[in-house]
Structure 1
Amino acid sequence: MKKIIKYCLVTLVFLGISSLSAETIKVGTNANYPPFEYIDENSHIAGFDIDLVDELSKKVGFKYEIVNMGFDGLIPALKSGKIDIIAAGMSATPARKKAVDFSDSYYVTENLFIKQKSNSDINSKDDLRDKSIGVQLGTVQEQAARKLNKVNVFAVEDIFAAIMALKNGKIDAVLVDSSVGYGYLRKNDDIVEFHKEPDGSEGFSLAFDKNKHTELISKINLVIEELRNDGTYDSLLDKYELKK
């Protein structure tokens, strides 16, 4: 009986994704967020999210095309039908859930505050008053920064630009997702973290247009769990140095 129920469930799921899988699924990302998505030495879009989508495509059964764009333009592109899925280290927040549906979370991170190592004036969040802080446009970190009291927000499309502005003394701090921020800290010994806190989300998830792909999301959630159980997920974490 359990096998029959499982077969019926999978059949219903595949029937539900037939409208999408009949054509190549367009996966929107922002390839300026290593190690989740970035341009590699061969000018290809690579990263944890890209590998995850590839694994999902094999097990769910769909072809896909990666579409690179600004992070703040991903949800509008999803809503307008220019892309079908967002795979871009996007945090599932209550506000975003009003506009899109999310898969189960596949990675949980925190908000990380970074400064120049030589800056002795900043040691806590309170020290950011009347200071400037860099963030990536459209992220939960931008939202968090704009809630800080009397802080000048320097919002850019590429978090690398914010890191460079910090290193060059043009801004006082950077607020970034911890999984991305630690990557920059490992490669730049002149910058350090000075504060970390929860980002208020359920973690990184794949996003879909609201109420349109319920069955596909269910199948993807099943496969994400399968990847966790068969060791594939851990292998990806190792590959991109994301194990905590």
Structure 2
Amino acid sequence: MKKKSCIAMIVASVMSVALLVGCGAKNENKKYVIATDAKFAPFSFEENGTYKGIDVEILDAIAKEEGFEYELKPMDFNGIIPGLTSNQLDGAISAMSITDERKKALDFSDPYFESGLSIVTNRNNVAINGESDIKGKSVSVKKGTAGAKFAEDNKDKYGLQLNYFEDSPSMFQAVENGNTDFALEDYPVIGYKIKVDGNSKLKMVGNKVDISNYGFAVNKNQNKDLLKKFNDGLKKLKDSGKYDEIVNQYISK
């Protein structure tokens, strides 16, 4: 009986080890679901059926550097944070500003891009030349963004009329058509649009109204391994010069 019991214990131990190894391998080979903004050039946008841009290419370079697989999930920015907090997404790289409010629900990587908000008007608008001229004006903002937050925080101060949009193209269109007086957008985004779109009726005016840093985001206290991989890979990209190579394709210094 003792001999049979020993054999049974050995078999059970071997099976336990095998299960642990299997679980470890499964976790190691996990394919992360990572969101990006579907319409936010030059950080993420679709061209000829393929997504490209600063965010998309930084993520891909880091994944190759750190050896992990991912599924890119382009979506409206407004749905990204709920997707992270409900664990439907493992991470997000979507030109997301690192804010104290967002840190309550999310963990962020080291900053990977310094940005800031610019005032955007129709190029024929001569009434708005900076922040001091936006009193009593109507503003276009994209839901859930730093621009929306700035407008909401300063609504009473400037007597702003807020108009919400799901994506940047719709927001810009409202300004071009004269339906709103100005928009608040991250300066590299509007700078890129004006540079590549010869038919654009937009212009940036005045100084940036706010400075912010973009970060890769995961749910609070979740996916710490993915966050570490992103930070490690980002450092390697910057050290090798690959980071500057990616950014300089889209934004001139």
Shift of 1:195: 2.4
**Taking structure 1 as reference, are residues 234 and 60 closer, same or farther at Cα in structure 2, changes over 3 Å only?**
same
Residues paired across the two proteins, number: 225
Consecutive unaligned residues in structure 1, runs of 5 or more:
1-16
Q: Which residue is equivalent to 2:35?
A: 28
Normalized against structure 1, the TM-score is what? 0.86
- For the residues of structure 2 that align with 1:86 and 1:171, how far apart are their CA atoms? 30
Query: What is the aligned-residue identity percentage?
Result: 30
**Taking structure 1 as reference, are residues 18 and 135 closer, same or farther at Cα in structure 2, changes over 3 Å only?**
farther
- For the residues of structure 2 that align with 1:114 and 1:20, how far apart are their CA atoms? 46
Q: Are the equivalent residues in 2 in contact too, given 1:93–1:200 (CA < 8 A)?
A: no
Shift of 1:124: 2.4
One-letter amino acid of the structure 2 residue matched with residue 152 of structure 1: Q
**Taking structure 1 as reference, are residues 221 and 183 closer, same or farther at Cα in structure 2, changes over 3 Å only?**
same
Q: Which residue is equivalent to 2:203?
A: 192
Q: Does 1:169 align with 2:183?
A: no
1:233 maps to which of 207, 219, 243: 243
Q: Are the equivalent residues in 2 in contact too, given 1:141–1:177 (CA < 8 A)?
A: yes
Q: Are the equivalent residues in 1 in contact too, given 2:143–2:165 (CA < 8 A)?
A: yes
One-letter amino acid of the structure 2 residue matched with residue 39 of structure 1: E
Q: Are the equivalent residues in 2 in contact too, given 1:102–1:208 (CA < 8 A)?
A: yes
Consecutive unaligned residues in structure 2, runs of 5 or more:
1-23
Q: Are the equivalent residues in 2 in contact too, given 1:32–1:159 (CA < 8 A)?
A: yes
One-letter amino acid of the structure 2 residue matched with residue 220 of structure 1: F
Q: Which residue is equivalent to 2:20?
A: none
Q: Are the equivalent residues in 2 in contact too, given 1:91–1:204 (CA < 8 A)?
A: yes
Identify the range of structure 1 (97-106 vs 207-216) with the bigger mean alpha-carbon deviation: 207-216
Secondary structure (helix, strand or coil) at the match of 1:52 reads helix
RMSD after superposition: 1.8
Q: Which residue is equivalent to 1:8?
A: none
| Equivalence map 1:1-244=2 (5 Å) | 21-40=28-47, 42-148=48-154, 149-186=158-195, 187=197, 188=199, 190-197=201-208, 199-201=210-212, 203-240=213-250, 242-244=251-253
One-letter amino acid of the structure 1 residue matched with residue 29 of structure 2: A
**Taking structure 1 as reference, are residues 48 and 20 closer, same or farther at Cα in structure 2, changes over 3 Å only?**
farther
Secondary structure (helix, strand or coil) at the match of 1:211 reads coil
Identify the range of structure 1 (18-27 vs 119-128) with the bigger mean alpha-carbon deviation: 18-27
- For the residues of structure 2 that align with 1:211 and 1:29, how far apart are their CA atoms? 20
Identify the range of structure 1 (170-179 vs 144-153) with the bigger mean alpha-carbon deviation: 144-153
Larger radius of gyration between Structure 1 and Structure 2 = 2
Normalized against structure 2, the TM-score is what? 0.83
**Taking structure 1 as reference, are residues 211 and 22 closer, same or farther at Cα in structure 2, changes over 3 Å only?**
same
Q: Are the equivalent residues in 2 in contact too, given 1:135–1:176 (CA < 8 A)?
A: yes
